[in-house]
Amino acid sequence: DPHVKEVDNLTLRRFLRARGHAVGKASAMLLKFVAWRREAVPGGVMLAELVRTELSHEMAYMAGADRAGRPVMLAFPAKHFSATRDMAGFKRYVVYLFDAMCARIPRGQEKFLCVVDLKGWGYANCDVRAYIAAIEILQSYYPERLGKALMIHVPYLFMKAWKVVQPFIDANTRDKFVFVDDKSLEETLRREMEDGQLPEMYGGKMPIVPLE
């Protein structure tokens, strides 16, 4: 595929790391990515106009940076409702979201931190198909971009849904999901972020901004 020539060296290295430096497997993964990107984002940029409905739900927010300098994203799955979800639109939104996060990653870093706040999550929000689709996009087309996903305020019901999702997550990605209990929440967040970068809603000083 001649479009592979447009891929920079840092991206090539991420695909190699994602496949344990097995060149054949990394090459196959890269070719799949290039073909997918050409079809999913034909103009090279996912336009906000294409995900206006999803953006209006304010399911994701931009925050500051963690102690390693990686940008922080906050996700609120309780604002997602399976009954009104359009899968094609949701997938476009996920691409828009990951592109936005990758664009915020500073020189010298390659990953971002995600805080997934499940407060208020219930049956109406449960959408296993959407979760699997998002994770598939993440691990197949944005390898080595997620540094860590802190899962907080996790209700018992969500763990049942997670058991269905888990088999679809590769081992490398699965290890990045960290479930934090309420007792150690503040300690965990402050270990990851300085007070000036910790979102106000968790006791810090950083205001959060909805993804636009």
State yes or no: pLDDT of 3 exceeds 80. Answer: no
Mean of the pLDDT values across residues 127-146? Answer: 97
All structural domains of the chain with their residue ranges: 1-40, 45-202
Could you please report the per-residue DSSP string of 6-48?
Answer: GS-HHHHHHHHHHTTT-HHHHHHHHHHHHHHHHHHSTTSS--G
Long-range Cβ contact pairs of 12-16 (< 8 A, separation 24 or more)? 14/110, 14/143, 14/144, 14/145, 15/143, 15/144
The per-residue pLDDT of the chain, averaged, comes to 95
What's the CA gap between 85 and 55, in Å, rounded? 12
Residue where the block lists tokens 């094609």: 88
Structure tokens at 116: 């997934």
Give residue 159's Cα distance to chain centre.
19
Residues 167-207: tens digit of each pLDDT: 999 998 999 999 999 999 999 999 999 999 999 999 999 99
Q: What is the pLDDT of residue 157?
A: 94
Mean of the pLDDT values across residues 128-141? Answer: 97
Query: Which strand (E) or helix (H) includes residue 159?
Result: helix 156-165
* Beta strands at 209-210 and 71-75: parallel, antiparallel or unpaired: unpaired
Residue 5's pLDDT band (boundaries 50, 70, 90)? confident
State yes or no: pLDDT of 16 exceeds 80. Answer: yes
CATH homologous superfamily of 45-202:
CRAL-TRIO lipid binding domain (3.40.525.10)
State yes or no: pLDDT of 88 exceeds 90. Answer: yes
What's the CA gap between 168 and 166, in Å, rounded? 5
Mean of the pLDDT values across residues 31-37? Answer: 94
- DSSP assigned state of 111: -
State yes or no: pLDDT of 6 exceeds 90. Answer: no
Mean of the pLDDT values across residues 50-66? Answer: 96
Residue 40's pLDDT band (boundaries 50, 70, 90)? very high
